[in-house]
Amino acid sequence: MCRCQPGHIDLRYKRDSNYQLNRAFLASAADNANGFTTIVNLLELCGILSFNLNSDQLLDLWRYFYDRYKITVLPEPDLQSSFPAIEVRQIFNILSKKSAFGDALMIAVAEKYLSFVSTMITWDSEHFKDKYSGIVLTPEEYMTGQY
């Protein structure tokens, strides 16, 4: 499972010190067709970039995220759908492990809709250790097989 930062870095921070490694990770995920993310991550990315995109560009990001990155979004991103039903207790249990709300929400949605995914890729891996039930790696650790 991929958090939104690789897409964020790719779209906005081309001078980032990890940009090339980030691009390699995204290319690998696309080539292997093994990337997944949650609708929460896509909404987070849209929220971050909403300050820099007009409404048509924002809608294009929403609609064409999979086409650009070949990372599957679950539940499927449909503007007519309801937000995933998650029990407040599940989010609160994650919060009690010292987590930001957005991260806890993403973990809860991932556990419900992506339970088959055993690894999370994020540049903020320390934020998710002991909170996410699977393996947590940075893109660099994933690309170099350090796990």
Of the ranges 51-60, 69-78, 111-120, which is most confident? 51-60
Structural domain tally of the chain?
1
Contact 7, 69 (CB under 8 A): yes
CA-angle at 98, arms to 97 and 99, nearest 5°: 105
CATH assignment of the domain containing 76: 3.40.50.1010
Q: In the chain, pLDDT over 90 holds for what percent of residues?
A: 67
| Least confident range of 4-8, 71-75, 133-137 | 4-8
**DSSP 8-state class, residue 7:** H
Task: Map residue 51 onto helix, strand or coil.
Answer: coil
pLDDT of 10 over the 90 cut: no
The boundaries of the domain holding residue 47 are: 5-144
* One-character DSSP codes across 99-145: --HHHHHHHHHHHHH-TT--EEE-TTGGGTTTTSSSEEE-HHHHHHT
What is the average pLDDT value for the chain, to the nearest integer? 91
**pLDDT tens track for 118-132:** 999 999 998 898 899
